[in-house]
Structure 1
Amino acid sequence: MKASRSTLFLALILPTVGLVALLVAAGSGQTQPSPTTVKQHVVDVMAVDVQPSYQQQRLVFGQVEATQYTQMGFELSGTVKQVYVDDGQPVQPGTVLAELDTQRLHAQRKQAVAALDRATANARLASLSQQRIADLVTKKLESRQRLDEAEQSLAVANAGITEAQAQVDRIDVELSKSVLIAPYQGTVVNRQVDGGTTVAAGQPVLALQQATQRTLRFPLPSDKALSLMVGQGVTVLAADAKGHYGQAIDATVDAISQQRDPRTRTVDVLVSTTGDSEPLLPGDTLAMPLTRTVQARGSWVPKSALSSGVRGLWTVLTVAGEGAQEVIPVSVEVMFADGDRVYVRGPLSSGDFVVVHGTQRLVPHQQVVARTVDAKLTAGVR
């Protein structure tokens, strides 16, 4: 009876002991010793420089204007005989642009010339009569009164010549006013009528703009406008194919308005480009960079050094120096963003080291290895 019990005990215990042995043997090869050292992150840091103010840059936009822009029309009413130019056509000074039908004026001129000839003939006859009567008066064969009458008749006849000549001159002026002539070198920008159209006096026929010069008009704050001087060189910026204003063009201040715009409270400054610059067309938009000094104590740091903070603030991570250091978070306020750098205000001192990038991988009070780098802070224009 005892033998059967011992046999049953061994039958239950031995498989259990064997299973435990197999499990121990299976796991013995996968066990690893617990690490004795922790790998520390290497972070790039830069020294900050606290300053009392910063330069704020922004762009003021202006437009290109033609130095001269003329709506050209006839001083007389009439029918347009022909318009000799088209939109976009360049013209030189003295080029005939358009002409009125002048048949009526030519007929009037013939009439005025005939009246002038008649007045001239009358004056010749009056002169001869005056000379004869003067001889008779000298010989005491005619009264002095007849001589006075002859002299006055001659004066009337001469006045008739002057009047008739004035009529001819008036018609000649009207004939000259029946032709539109380009007053300067320019380009036709808007042809509004065609031949055969009846126009009123002063009605625009075409628009002409000067081609050789361009004026740039910038509405500037009064303090900036009045700080400039006529003849002073300035820099304006043209947009590239992507719309970025970075192409610098040299320009010169031509005039400064002495009147403030009542709507924008700005003062217009007119400048012209100098040298061989890119071709500008009226209506193009250019920019003028302006700089003003803002008194605010702070320092420039890279945008990549910022991480979100609380209550509208931002956080930068600082370390005490190079080597093994502890990361300390510092709350800062962003005052101005310029390119890939920002001007921040907070409890930073000159010489403090700020983590340049990779702040999202770090936590406060983490142990890191800091190395100093020369961070390039690129300024942009806003």
Structure 2
Amino acid sequence: MSNTPRTGHKPLALGLIVLAAALVAAGVISRRSQAEQVKQANTPIVPMVSVVTAGQAAGAALELPARIEPWQRAPIYARVSGYLKSWSVDIGAPVKSGQTLADIETPDLDQQLLQAKAELATARSNLALASSTAKRWQGLLAADAVSRQEADEKAGDLAAKQSAVNAMQANVDRVQALQRYTRLVAPFDGVVTARNTDVGALINVGGAPGSELFVVSDLSRLRVYVNVPQRQVAAIKVGDKAELSAPERPGKVYTATVQSLSQAINASSGAMLVQLSVQNDSRELLPGGYASIHFNTPVASAALSIPPSALIFNKSGTQVATLGKDGRVVVKPVTISRDLGSVLEIATGIDRNDQVIANPPDGVATGDAVRVAANTAKAKL
């Protein structure tokens, strides 16, 4: 038997040693990596933010919704009962002052006039008899044929008959005056904007809204009503110019003039009613419609402005985060005065020189540390 040593096991043992060393090294590296991750997890992350300085809100032109009304609008009601005999104008037709709109047939009123005239004729006959009787009794009194008492009675009867004639004449005049209302006429130059009757319709005396037979409106000039918030009423004066735009005329602007102010704040809306006028010779603007009023004079504001992204909404209400002197966050409650889209006007809660965090991180609270971005724009809004 040969005593030569076996050399085939040496490479295997060497490989096992190398593998064991690699496993030990991998374990050490893994533990170090996990330790670094734990260390980083325990280290607080300081968020980076940008800040802006709350500044005086720029004067913003005031734009408000408004409604358009005709300069004059007359609903035409019936003063007599009857049936509509005919009408001569329809909606959209221009009319002149005094032009006939419709005729009403009034058979009952015609009979009342005949009756009143008959009663007047009877009263006049009685008056004539009482007059001749009183004259005769005055002659008999002069001849002492009758007593003064009897003569005075006849004179009193004459006065009563005269009063009856006057009453009957007034009744005839009243019915004749009513007959003039059988013809409906336009009260001024304008346009017929409503017709709520037709031939043969029963006409009743009315004055309630919705019972008008016709509506005549003056469209050559229009009234524009707008409710101006209390904060801006001091900037609006009689004679100021404003720009009016209507949705049915996109891109077209009309000049309106402030005519009057109600000089009172409506308790329910917190606004004051302002009346403007606008010429409408082309009849492009429609009464009863919606419009938008843009006042040319910028409206000054004492509020401070911040970007909308700076607002924080939570259970504590509306807040903003500001940067304190020590570089830590100070959360302040605020009151929004007006939303102008690109900026918000803040009425209370912040000072003019506060550095407001424009992008506050979620869950930010007073005392949190933050880092200010190097390229932050600190200009006033």
**TM-score per shorter chain, which class?**
0.5 to 0.7
Counterpart of 1:163 in structure 2: which amino acid? A
Q: Give runs of aligned pairs for residues 1-382 of structure 1, distance below 5 A.
A: 53-202=57-206, 203-230=211-238, 232-238=239-245, 243-244=250-251, 247=253, 249-273=254-278, 279-282=284-287, 283-289=289-295, 291-293=299-301, 296=304, 337=342
Query: Deviation of residue 187 (structure 1)?
Result: 1.1
SS at match of 1:67: strand
Counterpart of 2:213 in structure 1: which amino acid? V
CA contact (8 A) 1:233 1:250 kept: no
CA distance in structure 1 between the aligned counterparts of 2:248 and 2:177, rounded to whole angstroms: 52
Counterpart of 2:79 in structure 1: which amino acid? E
Q: What number of residue pairs does the alignment pair up?
A: 258
> CA, structure 1 residues 276+198, in 2 after alignment: closer, same or farther (shift >3 Å)?
closer
> CA, structure 1 residues 152+241, in 2 after alignment: closer, same or farther (shift >3 Å)?
closer
Counterpart of 1:108 in structure 2: which amino acid? Q
SS at match of 2:213: strand
For 1:18-38, what per-residue CA distance to the aligned partner results, in whole angstroms no more than 9, with x for missing partners?
Answer: xxxxxxxxxxxxxxxxxxxxx
> CA, structure 1 residues 58+162, in 2 after alignment: closer, same or farther (shift >3 Å)?
closer
CA distance in structure 2 between the aligned counterparts of 1:126 and 1:56, rounded to whole angstroms: 86
CA distance in structure 2 between the aligned counterparts of 1:263 and 1:80, rounded to whole angstroms: 44
CA distance in structure 1 between the aligned counterparts of 2:84 and 2:140, rounded to whole angstroms: 60
CA distance in structure 2 between the aligned counterparts of 1:275 and 1:204, rounded to whole angstroms: 25
CA contact (8 A) 2:80 2:106 kept: no
Structure 1: tracts of 5 or more residues without a match: 1-49, 299-334, 339-344, 348-363, 366-382
> CA, structure 1 residues 52+102, in 2 after alignment: closer, same or farther (shift >3 Å)?
closer
Query: Deviation of residue 65 (structure 1)?
Result: 1.0
SS at match of 2:226: strand
For 1:141-193, what per-residue CA distance to the aligned partner results, in whole angstroms no more than 9, with x for missing partners?
Answer: 22212211210120121022012112202211221233322222221111111
CA contact (8 A) 2:195 2:214 kept: yes
CA contact (8 A) 1:74 1:179 kept: no
SS at match of 1:211: strand
CA contact (8 A) 2:244 2:256 kept: no
For 1:34-70, what per-residue CA distance to the aligned partner results, in whole angstroms no more than 9, with x for missing partners?
Answer: xxxxxxxxxxxxxxxx985523334212122112323
CA distance in structure 2 between the aligned counterparts of 1:167 and 1:274, rounded to whole angstroms: 47
CA distance in structure 2 between the aligned counterparts of 1:216 and 1:105, rounded to whole angstroms: 43
> CA, structure 1 residues 78+259, in 2 after alignment: closer, same or farther (shift >3 Å)?
farther
CA contact (8 A) 2:219 2:280 kept: no
Query: Deviation of residue 236 (structure 1)?
Result: 1.5
TM-align CA RMSD = 3.5
Which structure has the highest strand share of the two? Answer: 1
CA distance in structure 2 between the aligned counterparts of 1:82 and 1:241, rounded to whole angstroms: 35
> CA, structure 1 residues 175+241, in 2 after alignment: closer, same or farther (shift >3 Å)?
closer
> CA, structure 1 residues 239+176, in 2 after alignment: closer, same or farther (shift >3 Å)?
closer
Calculate percent identity across the aligned residue pairs. 25
CA distance in structure 2 between the aligned counterparts of 1:156 and 1:137, rounded to whole angstroms: 21
SS at match of 1:172: helix
TM value normalised by structure 2: 0.59
Query: Deviation of residue 256 (structure 1)?
Result: 1.1
> CA, structure 1 residues 296+129, in 2 after alignment: closer, same or farther (shift >3 Å)?
closer
Counterpart of 1:105 in structure 2: which amino acid? L
SS at match of 1:273: strand
Structure 2: tracts of 5 or more residues without a match: 1-53, 307-339, 344-353, 357-372, 375-381
> CA, structure 1 residues 69+278, in 2 after alignment: closer, same or farther (shift >3 Å)?
closer
CA contact (8 A) 1:77 1:201 kept: yes
